[in-house]
Structure 1
């Protein structure tokens, strides 16, 4: 299909932007996050990573969803998801709690929405890497939340901390799939190439995934905010029960595996 437009956030979500999101299930905002804020988020992620590797983060806050890249002796080398980010990174918390992101949540999830922050993994930083040892290089086609999830409705706000292109496995979506079921022969995906500082908001039930990272030395980091208008589940709950967690774990793909297969 023809390339779909991107937008510039002007301090509010316009009727045209809301209509686009409701029609296609996603929206791209160019240059929404200043370069200095991108740098703060990235620096905080590296500090937080070191704390997790050093064992100084609460055990129930250490990610169990994505696989971990390890050294040859099995020692963790890189966690590909950092959970409860705003609980550990004060500077980032000040950035991520700003009104511009809350406005996106209220527009796309509903006026009573709240930020998933102190429960079910909270704010999440996610990191794809290339190379033969990478435990997370691609992600299979999936939905963020199944129909009827207690958090619903949810909008995922993805803040890109690196350029995201076809070569490093940018986000791919099936436009309108939040409204219509995917058939046996699904439509062609749209690949959303963005720059560091861009933001992509997408519906909880849009079908999406990403191809493997082609550059063996490449990496791509994204910060995810989940604005939910469903019931608050309570403080400190785990991401999912054992059955659901195993299903989610299968969507993360390491190097040498095929990346764009559907979740089974």
Structure 2
């Protein structure tokens, strides 16, 4: 294939062999100019409807991902809306969902299935809007047929050091799953947030993005993000995560949907929480 055969092709985004190799080696890749400004305008309207707290009956699916569940909305720093297509079915099949599905199928297999989606927004002037260093697999049940995952994160705004862009430890996915501990309180009932400590010798690499770019990372890469030090700029991110069909079916069988309202027996289906 010619170089022009890679990148955006209608509702698909064709990943190059070099990008696939980097994904395997480093645990993540960055893809540029995946969505147009016009396509982002349509997404932003729905995004802001959720992030403003205008969608009713979300329970814990609308929360602050940098604080405890009982934090009041006006005090949220990292505004989180889980499963937006569940609460607004008209969002299903949007252009970003199609493009990220195309990418995931090329990276993890043709049966890549949308497992969950998520809207995240860091308010301006909130240096506490941090996403603790973690591995995604640390949040999820064990015993699945496989763990392979491709999580796509769309930059709805430019993301940089000032407003808290994603950072990763390249290659850390090759070292296995670490023990994760609750950041607030003693268990996941008081806060959904889990984290791990940065070890000596580990270096964080920031992944700045332009609006419309995407990062893709796997289930074991260590990653997080800093707070938002910008006085005026939001940092908004639209996440879609894909796993194998068998994995998603297993999760649903045990009552796990990635909703913060799930009632899962963590004593039976324990992740890396200790």
- Give the TM interval when normalised to the shorter protein: 0.7 to 0.9
Please tell me the root mean square deviation across aligned C-alpha atoms, in Å.
Answer: 3.4
TM-score, L = length of structure 2: 0.70
Taking the TM superposition and a 5 Å limit, the aligned residue runs for 1:131-150 are 131=125, 137-146=129-138, 148=142, 150=144
Taking the TM superposition and a 5 Å limit, the aligned residue runs for 1:1-264 are 8-9=7-8, 11-50=13-52, 52-53=53-54, 56-59=56-59, 62-64=61-63, 66=65, 76-77=73-74, 80-87=79-86, 88=88, 90-91=90-91, 93-98=93-98, 100-116=99-115, 122-131=116-125, 137-146=129-138, 148=142, 150=144, 152-180=147-175, 184-229=199-244, 230-232=247-249, 233-234=251-252, 237=257, 238-239=259-260, 241=264
Deviations 1:35-71 (A, max 9, x none): 1121111110122344x446x23547x335725799x
Residues 89 and 222 from structure 1, CA distance in 2 versus in 1: closer, same or farther, beyond 3 angstroms?
farther
Structure 2 SS opposite 1:38? helix
TM-score, L = length of structure 1: 0.73
Deviations 1:143-192 (A, max 9, x none): 01139562621111001100001111111111111113699423322111
Contact 2:151 2:240 survives alignment (8 Å): yes
Specify every segment of 5 or more residues in structure 2 that has no aligned partner in the other structure, as ranges: 1-5, 179-197
Matched residues in 1 for 2:155 and 2:73: separation? 25
Residues 184 and 49 from structure 1, CA distance in 2 versus in 1: closer, same or farther, beyond 3 angstroms?
closer
Contact 1:123 1:225 survives alignment (8 Å): yes
Matched residues in 2 for 1:159 and 1:115: separation? 15
Q: Which residue of 2 aligns with 1:259?
A: none
Deviation at 1:209?
Answer: 1.2
Matched residues in 1 for 2:45 and 2:122: separation? 17
Deviation at 1:242?
Answer: 7.7
Matched residues in 1 for 2:205 and 2:8: separation? 22
Specify every segment of 5 or more residues in structure 1 that has no aligned partner in the other structure, as ranges: 1-6, 117-121, 249-262
Q: Which residue of 2 aligns with 1:260?
A: none
Figure out how many residues of one structure are paired with residues of the other and give that number.
228
